[in-house]
């Protein structure tokens, strides 16, 4: 009896499914208006270079290719000074026959603003093992200003996290006073400065990796993230961490919270750098 009832239920289900397939779809079907636009994704991470002409290109698409289309774009950021350094002077323009184009973001002097992060890592390609890579991150948001131009994809805004790998050039010699710091001596160290940013690099100041720091846009604060500075013969890598930095004139003072290894800490100290 149960088997008989189950078969009846299957027949009824199939009948419902087939009848549903024969029905016309309900609701509006999008016609593919070529004047509807959308960003391709909600986030985008372009790389900035020294040869990009100070321009960042962010892709945007539309639903068709008929005629030309001009799309106003708004740039916003929660970080100080970003909307002055990063600008979108012109609308995004789709040429006839093209379904995609780029929003062109111009940028000026990056030293006028602070990056959201200053990342330092070992350079795996270094022949000496002492070189480091320094990256800066600059986040902002782009938004299609006219909501009537939105496509069904509906990605009206894109979070842009632009990053820049810094290139450095020689900047003379700095005097490092490490009497109350890691080395306990005062001596000269080769100095490099980043192209287009107030980031400096001391070349192997403690006989191991390079050390980098950045002068903030306020001209007073120095940012120096945790970084490996030496290799202890017994305890391995030594990290200079929890650093508070300042600059007065050409004198950079780094107050180090701790020189740490895997086994513990050697305590804090002070590194004083006099720039040339």
DSSP per position, 28-53: PPP---TT-EEESSSEE-PEE-TTST
What per-residue confidence (pLDDT) applies to 152? 84
**% pLDDT > 90, the chain:** 84
* Residue 171 · residue 200 · CB < 8 Å: yes
Q: Is the pLDDT of residue 71 over 50?
A: yes
Structure tokens that stand for 248 in this block? 């007065």
Check whether 25 has a pLDDT greater than 50: no
CA distance 202 to 65: 53
Name the token pair of 222.
């120095």
- For residues 51 and 64, give the distance between their C-alpha atoms in angstroms, rounded to a whole number: 33
pLDDT recorded at residue 20: 41
**What end-to-end distance do the CA atoms of the chain give, in Å?**
97
Tens digits of per-residue pLDDT, 79-105? Answer: 999 999 999 999 999 999 999 999 999
pLDDT digit string, tens, across residues 239-262: 999 999 999 999 999 999 999 999
CB under 8 Å, gap of 24 or more: what pairs does 233-237 form?
Answer: 235/261, 235/262, 235/263, 236/261, 236/262, 237/261, 237/262
- The CA-based angle 96-99-100, given to 5 degrees, is 110
Residues 64, 32 contacting (CB under 8 angstroms): yes
Is 60 exceeded by the pLDDT of residue 153?
yes
Predicted pLDDT at 35 = 83
Q: How confident is the model at residue 33 (pLDDT cuts 50, 70, 90)?
A: low
Q: Report whether pLDDT(1) > 50.
A: no
Identify which has the larger pLDDT, 19 or 133.
Answer: 133
Closest Cα to residue 248, out of 272, 230, 224? 272
More confident residue, 62 or 3: 62
Average pLDDT over residues 193-200: 96
């Amino acid at each position: 009896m149960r088997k008989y009832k189950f078969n009846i239920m299957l027949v009824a289900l199939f009948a419902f499914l087939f009848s549903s397939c024969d029905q016309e779809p309900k609701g509006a079907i999008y016609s593919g208006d070529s004047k509807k636009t959308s960003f391709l994704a909600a986030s985008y991470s372009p790389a900035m270079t020294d040869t990009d002409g100070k321009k960042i290109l962010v892709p945007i698409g539309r639903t068709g290719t008929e005629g030309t289309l001009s799309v106003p774009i708004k740039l916003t950021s929660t970080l100080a000074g970003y909307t002055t350094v990063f600008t979108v002077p012109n609308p995004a323009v789709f040429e006839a026959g093209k379904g995609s184009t780029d929003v062109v973001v111009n940028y000026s002097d990056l030293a006028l603003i602070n990056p959201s992060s200053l990342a330092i890592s070992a350079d795996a390609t270094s022949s000496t093992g002492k070189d480091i890579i320094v990256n800066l991150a600059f986040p902002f948001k782009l938004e299609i200003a006219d909501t009537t131009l939105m496509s069904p994809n509906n990605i009206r805004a894109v979070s842009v996290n632009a990053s820049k790998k810094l290139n450095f050039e020689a900047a003379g010699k700095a005097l490092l006073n490490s009497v109350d710091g890691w080395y306990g001596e005062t001596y000269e160290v080769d100095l490099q400065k980043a192209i287009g940013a107030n980031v400096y690099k001391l070349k192997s100041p403690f006989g191991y990796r390079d050390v980098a720091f950045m002068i903030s846009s306020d001209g007073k604060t120095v940012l120096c993230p945790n970084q490996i500075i030496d290799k202890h013969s017994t305890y391995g890598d030594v990290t200079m961490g929890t650093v508070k930095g300042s600059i007065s004139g050409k004198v950079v003072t780094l107050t180090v919270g701790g020189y740490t290894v895997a086994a513990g800490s050697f305590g804090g100290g002070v590194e004083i750098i006099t720039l040339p």
